[in-house]
Amino acid sequence: VRQRNSQDEEIIRRVIWASETWGFFQVVNHGIPLEVLDKVIEGVRMFHEQDVEVKKEYYSRDPSKQVWFNSNRDFYHSRAANWRDSLYVSPVLGSEFDPELLPPICREVILAY
C-alpha cells in the first residue's frame, strides 16, 4: 500500500467537488480510447432498446452471475425508488470468462473494451 501524495489529495477534492456540485464526474486519461468507450455505450444502448423478451433472458437479481441485467437493484433495500435498467458484466478474477454469456448485440464491443 502506498502513501497518498498531494496529487492524490487534489484528485480526491476535485471528485468530491464535482459530485457535490454536478452530481457526477468523468474520469479521463485512463488509457481506454474514446472510440472504444463510444462503441461500448452504443452497444449497451442497443441492448437496452431490445424487446423485453430478449432482455429477460439476462434478467437476474443474483450478483454472483458474471453477466446479468435488472432494474432497481436496490429496490428492496432503498427507501426511495430509483428506476434504472442495468447490464452488469462482472468477470470473476482468476476464473475463465465465457464470452457467450454476453448479449450478442453488444458482445464484440464489450470484449474490445
Task: Give the alpha-carbon dihedral of 50, 56, 58, 60, to 10 degrees.
Answer: 140
Which of 40, 41, 98, 37 shows the shortest CA–CA distance to 65?
98
Instruction: Say if residue 74's pLDDT is above 80.
Output: no
Identify the domain containing residue 96 by its residue range.
Answer: 31-112
The more confidently predicted of residues 77 and 51 is 51
For the chain, the average pLDDT equals 88
Assess if residue 86 is contained within a domain.
Answer: yes
Assess if residue 64 is contained within a domain.
Answer: yes
In whole angstroms, what is the distance from residue 9 CA to residue 5 CA?
6
Percent of the chain beyond pLDDT 90?
58
> What is the number of domains present in the chain?
1
Sign of the alpha-carbon dihedral angle for 57, 59, 65, 67: positive
**How is residue 112 written as a grid cell?**
474490445
